[in-house]
Amino acid sequence: MPKTAPPQTYRVKSFGCQMNVYDGERMGELLAEQGIAPALEGDEADLVVLNTCHIREKAAEKVYSDIGRLKRKDGSAPLIAVAGCVAQAEGDEIMARAPSVRMVVGPQAYHRLPDMLAEAVEGKRVTDTDMPAETKFDALPARRKSGPTAFLTVQEGCDKFCTYCVVPYTRGAEVSRGFNDLLNEANRLIEAGAKEITLLGQNVNAWAGEDAKGRVIGLDGLIAQLAKLPDLKRIRYTTSHPNDMSDALIAAHGAVDKLMPFLHLPVQAGSDRVLKAMNRSHTVDSYLAILERVRAARPDIALSGDFIVGFPGETDEDFEETLKLIDAVGYAQAFSFKFSARPGTPAASMNGQLPVEVMDERLQRLQAALNRDQIAFNESSLGKDCNVLIERKGRHPGQWLGKSPWLQSVHFESDAQIGDIVPVTLTEAGPNSLHAVPHMTQA
Ligand code: SAH
Ligand code: SF4
Ligand code: F3S
């Protein structure tokens, strides 16, 4: 490849989960530290980082079509880096199939982006999908920017090996970041304006570490310590695995005011037979028992989950059981997906792969049930007083958009500003958001 001028501007496009978004922010900070500026909205960037997701088919296909569409008005191509989980899983394939890609970098190697860029500018094509033992976090610049809400990766990787899932392969084994490192990053984010921090991990509730006094603590301990930071007002965490919902973490939902009343606890299916084939290592009953205890600790908790329909061998009866589970829980919100056979995962070669029409029909019924419950949850919030953290401007002048403690989008008119926490009464409920009226005095 020919040499290129060093890039002056960059754009990072993130396509995946919240951790993928977090990684995208950190790659941006790393590039900014090299003197490369973020491209302005609508401008063409000299360097484009496609931060990919491998969780379902469409995600990977999108990468290739995006690469094709990155041509600039003058016909030239920007420097292209493919990062994220597709890079990890299919780095060599991408290099072979997409000659305009200069860099392929995995989720555990992106701290090396500046070195890779130096080589790419010289005309080389570089791949780094190592999972180095030393953590990338030590090599990343300190956080300097934050909105009112921030993500903080505390745990990465997964040892659970659900039979449908690529994450254990793309992210590697479970690793917890050290307590001091996390406290440091949290403090930086708060100084930069974060009022709410969402602790992230593929299995965030598997986080373990030692506090400043050398005591072994779990996620509940980390949450309790973060809650002591006066300028941090709200704490959330995601995503959790049912098997790592410790008694102490459940108790924290009742004991720590700053821990918001929301729990995303994926179950995937409502049939024990399917759960077993998924290698979920929990049953419907054990899952429901956890939710019951969480509700006892925090009666107003809003529950969320993930569902997969059409897992190989899923019968109509199995699917009916999933609908029954949904009826029993009453989720405030949830995500649902058609099973996608991922290369290299055990489920991809299981007997009983289902036709897409069956999956479509089941997904529609599942989503109808979930929507019904989401609307019911929002309507049950009417008349409640709560605080809303303003995240951004709303669609109309003078209108603000923020989140309720239960993670609902709430809009209202007020002379407050972004980052304010405003006490309101919830007055109108739609399927995806609520309207509110602020109280006279501010918190
Ligand atoms: N670690 C988290 C999230 C993993 S990915 C957890 O265990 O919950 C997010 C969601 O994507 C999963 O919960 C699952 O519902 C869905 N998912 C993962 N692999 C999938 C696949 N092969 N097909 C369809 N959905 C999948
Ligand atoms: Fe994937 Fe299961 Fe791990 Fe979640 S727990 S990341 S679904 S393997
Ligand atoms: Fe996607 Fe990787 Fe997240 S596969 S869901 S970006 S961990």
pLDDT class for 42, splitting at 50, 70, 90? confident
Nearest to 324 by CA among 278, 280, 287: 287
**pLDDT over 80 (residue 368):** yes
Q: Considering 363, 380, 397, which residue would you say is the last residue of a domain? A: 380
Pocket probe mutation, ligand 1, options 202, 267, 306, 360, max atoms within 8 Å of Cβ: 306
**pLDDT over 60 (residue 372):** yes
**pLDDT over 80 (residue 441):** no
- Tell me, what CATH number does 412's domain have? 2.40.50.140
pLDDT in tens, 173-193: 999 999 999 999 999 999 999
Nearest to 83 by CA among 111, 61, 58: 111
Amino acid making up residue 161: F
Q: Considering 99, 128, 157, which residue would you say is the last residue of a domain? A: 128
- Average pLDDT for the chain: 95
Nearest to 249 by CA among 180, 240, 424: 240
150 plus 123 within the same structural domain: no
pLDDT in tens, 78-108: 999 999 999 999 999 999 999 999 999 999 9
pLDDT class for 110, splitting at 50, 70, 90? very high
Work out the average pLDDT over 294-321.
98
Ligand nearest to the CA of 170: 3
CA dihedral (254, 257, 258, 263) positive or negative = positive
Model pLDDT, residue 73:
81
Which two tokens mark 268? 């995937």
Which two tokens mark 290? 């956890």
Which two tokens mark 434? 């609520």
58 plus 121 within the same structural domain: yes
Residue 43 lies in a domain: yes
pLDDT in tens, 193-207: 999 999 999 999 999
Work out the average pLDDT over 330-347.
97
75 plus 181 within the same structural domain: no
Rounded Cα–Cα distance for residues 219 and 207 (Å):
5
**pLDDT over 60 (residue 443):** no
Model pLDDT, residue 135:
82
Distance 241 CA to ligand 2 centre (A): 8
Which amino acid residue places its CA nearest to atom 1 of ligand 2? 165
Distance 213 CA to ligand 3 centre (A): 34
271 plus 338 within the same structural domain: yes
pLDDT class for 118, splitting at 50, 70, 90? very high
Rounded Cα–Cα distance for residues 10 and 38 (Å):
5
- Tell me, what CATH number does 312's domain have? 3.30.750.200
162 plus 117 within the same structural domain: no
Residue 136 lies in a domain: no
Instruction: Write phi, then psi, for 104 (nearest 5 degrees).
Output: -125, 120
309 plus 210 within the same structural domain: no
Amino acid making up residue 370: L
Residue 328 lies in a domain: yes
162 lines ligand 2 (CB under 6 A): yes
State the CB neighbour count (10 A cutoff) for residue 299: 9
Residues near ligand 3 (Cβ within 6 A):
16-17, 19-20, 53-55, 84-85, 166-167, 170-171
Alpha helices in 73-134 (DSSP H): 84-97, 113-121
Work out the average pLDDT over 376-383.
98
Residue 365 burial (CB < 10 Å; 0-12/13-18/19+)?
middle
Rounded Cα–Cα distance for residues 345 and 193 (Å):
41
Residue with tokens 């180095």: 132
Residue 63 lies in a domain: yes
Residue 135 lies in a domain: no
- Tell me, what CATH number does 92's domain have? 3.40.50.12160
Model pLDDT, residue 90:
93
**pLDDT over 70 (residue 442):** no
pLDDT in tens, 120-166: 999 999 999 998 877 899 999 999 999 999 999 999 999 999 999 99
287 plus 373 within the same structural domain: yes
**List of residues 6+ apart from 260 with CB closer than 8 A:** 196, 234, 235, 236, 405, 406, 407
Which amino acid residue places its CA nearest to atom 5 of ligand 3? 17
pLDDT in tens, 382-418: 999 999 999 999 988 889 999 999 999 999 999 999 9
**Number of domains making up the chain:** 4
pLDDT class for 1, splitting at 50, 70, 90? confident
Rounded Cα–Cα distance for residues 169 and 167 (Å):
5
Residue 212 lies in a domain: yes
Residue 246 lies in a domain: no
**pLDDT over 90 (residue 57):** no
368 plus 436 within the same structural domain: no
Instruction: Indicate whether this model's pTM tops 0.85.
Output: yes
Q: Considering 128, 151, 185, which residue would you say is the last residue of a domain? A: 128
Which amino acid residue places its CA nearest to atom 10 of ligand 1? 306
**pLDDT over 70 (residue 432):** yes
- Tell me, what CATH number does 225's domain have? 3.30.750.210
Model pLDDT, residue 75:
82
Model pLDDT, residue 208:
97
Residues spanned by the domain of 27:
9-128
**List of residues 6+ apart from 427 with CB closer than 8 A:** 382, 383, 434, 435, 436, 437
Work out the average pLDDT over 424-441.
94
Nearest to 293 by CA among 236, 240, 330, 242: 242
269 plus 375 within the same structural domain: yes
Model pLDDT, residue 7:
96
State how far the alpha carbon of 268 is from the alpha carbons of 173, 307, 322, in Å.
Answer: 21, 4, 9
DSSP β-bridge partners for residue 47: 10, 79
pLDDT class for 39, splitting at 50, 70, 90? very high
Which amino acid residue places its CA nearest to atom 1 of ligand 3? 53
Work out the average pLDDT over 35-41.
95
- CA angle (332, 338, 343) in 5-degree steps: 130
152 plus 176 within the same structural domain: yes
Rounded Cα–Cα distance for residues 140 and 27 (Å):
9
Are the C-beta atoms of 232 and 191 separated by less than 8 Å?
no
Ligand nearest to the CA of 266: 1
103 plus 123 within the same structural domain: yes
Percent of the chain with pLDDT strictly greater than 70: 99
Model pLDDT, residue 82:
97
282 plus 344 within the same structural domain: yes
279-288 long-range contacts, Cβ below 8 Å, gap at least 24?
Answer: 279/160, 279/161, 279/162, 279/163, 279/346, 280/162, 280/242, 281/160, 281/243, 282/242, 282/243, 284/321, 284/325, 286/242, 287/242, 287/325, 288/325, 288/328, 288/329
Residue 3 lies in a domain: no
- The DSSP string of 393-410 is E-SSTTEEEEE-TTS-EE
